Amino acid sequence: MFNPLGGLGDLQKLQQQAQQMQKALQQEQVIVEKNGVKVSVRGDQVIQEIEVDGVIENRIAEAINEAVKKTQELAARKLIEISSQQR
């Protein structure tokens, strides 16, 4: 007999794994220095700090983080739109 809800366990497991991955990535950090600019980024792609010629410019980091968040929201809306059209 087919159980239409059988995939929910797999979905919950995937969701838990995604949350664990997100937490692990938040603990990682990448620092790149080039041409007088130093950028510190968490593994989950959140910019923590931008330094230009020794001056910390967190206004730039905040603007980039907001732009990235908006692109992620756009991608989520597009994914919902595409998945609803395929039904």
This prediction has a pTM of 0.68
Structural domain contains residue 65: yes
Question: 35 lies in which domain range?
Answer: 29-85
Q: Of 22, 57, 27, which Cα lies nearest the Cα of 41?
A: 27
- The tally of domains found in the chain comes to 1
Structural domain contains residue 14: no
Structural domain contains residue 15: no
Tens of pLDDT, residue by residue over 46-64, are 999 999 999 999 999 999 9
Q: For residue 4, name the pLDDT band (cuts at 50, 70, 90).
A: low
Task: Give the H/E segment covering residue 81.
Answer: helix 58-85
Structural domain contains residue 59: yes
